[in-house]
Amino acid sequence: MIPAIFGLSGLTLTDDERAFFRDSDPAGYILFGRNIENREQLRRLTDALRALDGRDNVPILIDQEGGRVARMKSPEWPPFPSGATFDALYERAPASAIEAARLNAMALAAMLAEVGINVDCLPLLDVRQPGASDVIGDRALGSEPMRVAALGRAILGGLQDGGVVGIVKHIPGHGRALLDTHEALPVVTATDRELQTDLAPFAALRDAAMAMTCHVIFEAWDPERPATLSPIIIDSVIRQRVGFHGLLISDDLDMKALSGDVPSRAAAAIGAGCDIALNCWAKMDDMVGIAHALAPISTVSRARLEGAMDRVSGVADDRAFATLVDQRDALLAVA
């Protein structure tokens, strides 16, 4: 197995993808809108991915946050609220907001599990800051760290109760970035003391199974390299100060925030301390290059991966999707 997660080009596996994935044995896969048509098609696709090497618990990821980030869309699937919705409810009724976030995540998990998806890139623990790029914006759970942590904890629990593992992101915090990392490399000039605000939700949820890095330079910690590629930030900040010891996944390595060819970026991310290199765009040349650039997954990273996926071995709550949505909406009506 190589420490990489790859994307797919379309609604079905191509012959080239099937052969390459069987030969390279990536740690998992990620799905986007280009891979999704309807329930039946999506279930066939996820079944095909599991059949490649017989791993029933192979990680199959998706960014299904709600709001403007949703790969599974209407009319086949209903829209879900953004993170800001729960932040607004928290202003009036904190306990109701936490329960609404949990029910929302359980409904998301039910929707994902039905089609064979077992990992959701959610929740965002980025603390929203005034004047920052709106790439986070209303996706955030708020601007107060412990509120973000409380809502994030509810989301992680709701996903797990529905049989899906969540990924906290974007560690150590994307909330201050003035630029969109899809397009450019942000540099955060905040002091170490100021950045404690950004770290606080991640420290509170340090026991999460998975986390995703950000492609942001933090001058206070490493003025030369973005977090994804910084051994200093990954070891000293994420692993030691935050205390996160779960599976660390890079953000998408195809973003313009990073320089150099994609296979070199993948090798640099793993070399810096990420457990998994994430490559989303299904460009065969890049995927082949990554497979050649990476050594087999380390014993430590494999144990983290297996430990994370063990958390979805059972479903703790089997309430129907419609019931969960109705209960969530009754609480959100307060706001």
Task: Please name which of 137, 146, 135 lies closest in space to residue 90, comparing C-alpha atoms.
Answer: 146
Residue 314: its pLDDT value, please?
Answer: 57
Band of residue 315 on the pLDDT scale cut at 50, 70, 90: low
Mean of the pLDDT values across residues 72-83? Answer: 97
| DSSP per-residue letters across 227-268 | GGG-HHIIIIIIIIII---SEEEPPPTTSTTS-S-HHHHHHH
DSSP 134: T
**Superfamily of the domain at 2-48+83-332:** Glycoside hydrolase, family 3, N-terminal domain (3.20.20.300)
Instruction: Give dist(CA 275, CA 303) in Å, integer.
Output: 10
CB 201 within 8 A of CB 127: yes
Mean of the pLDDT values across residues 160-174? Answer: 97
Return the SS3 of 171: strand
Judge whether residue 317 has pLDDT over 70: no
Task: Please name which of 158, 124, 122, 155 lies closest in space to residue 141, comparing C-alpha atoms.
Answer: 124
pTM higher than the cut 0.95: yes
Mean of the pLDDT values across residues 140-156? Answer: 98
Mean of the pLDDT values across residues 155-159? Answer: 97
Sheet strands (E) in the chain: 2-7, 26-31, 60-62, 64-66, 69-70, 119-120, 165-171, 187-188, 210-213, 217-218, 247-249, 277-279
pLDDT in tens, 226-269: 999 999 999 999 999 999 999 999 999 999 999 999 999 999 99
pLDDT in tens, 172-193: 999 999 998 999 999 999 999 9
Give catalytic residues, as residue numbers. 182, 251
Residue 319: its pLDDT value, please?
Answer: 79
Judge whether residue 280 has pLDDT over 70: yes
CA 189 to chain centroid, in Å, comes to 25
| DSSP per-residue letters across 292-315 | HHPPPPPHHHHHHHHHHHHTTSS-
Mean of the pLDDT values across residues 277-304? Answer: 98
Band of residue 316 on the pLDDT scale cut at 50, 70, 90: low
φ/ψ bin of 116: left (φ > 0), alpha (ψ from -120 to 50), beta (otherwise): left
Over the chain, what is the mean pLDDT? Answer: 96
Structure tokens at 6: 């790859």
Judge whether residue 313 has pLDDT over 90: no
Judge whether residue 334 has pLDDT over 90: no
Band of residue 113 on the pLDDT scale cut at 50, 70, 90: very high
Mean of the pLDDT values across residues 312-332? Answer: 84
Instruction: Give dist(CA 69, CA 74) in Å, integer.
Output: 13
Other CB atoms within a 10 A radius of the CB of residue 164 amount to 27
CB 80 within 8 A of CB 70: yes
Domain boundaries defined on the chain: 2-48+83-332
Band of residue 67 on the pLDDT scale cut at 50, 70, 90: very high
pLDDT in tens, 15-65: 999 999 999 999 999 999 999 999 999 999 999 999 998 999 999 999 999
Residue 335: its pLDDT value, please?
Answer: 73
Instruction: Give dist(CA 299, CA 263) in Å, integer.
Output: 22
